[in-house]
Amino acid sequence: MKSQKSSRVDLLEKKVQALIGVVQQLLNENTHLKDLAVGTLETIKRMPDYDEAIEKLKNESMQQVQQTEEKLEV
């Protein structure tokens, strides 16, 4: 009976360690993706016409918000 309990504990410990490994890998990937996103943003900011493109996106977004509000009012 005692060996069954210890083998179950061993199995649970292995599962916990496996889960810890998966969570650590996810954290590492999340950090990598954050660094990649920041690097991409900084690269795009240095491109010509960046400010003009941002203004265009802001205007398009405002138009979409206005259209959505108009549809909700009807």
Q: What is the pLDDT of residues 6-36, one digit of tens each?
A: 899 999 999 999 999 999 999 999 999 999 9
Q: What pLDDT, in 10s, does the model give residues 40-71?
A: 999 999 999 999 999 999 999 999 999 998 88
The answer for residues whose C-beta is within 8 angstroms of residue 44's C-beta and 6 or more apart is 50
- The whole-angstrom distance between residue 45's C-alpha and the CA centroid of its chain comes to 21
Q: How far apart are CA 72 and CA 74, in angstroms?
A: 6
**Model confidence, pTM:** 0.61
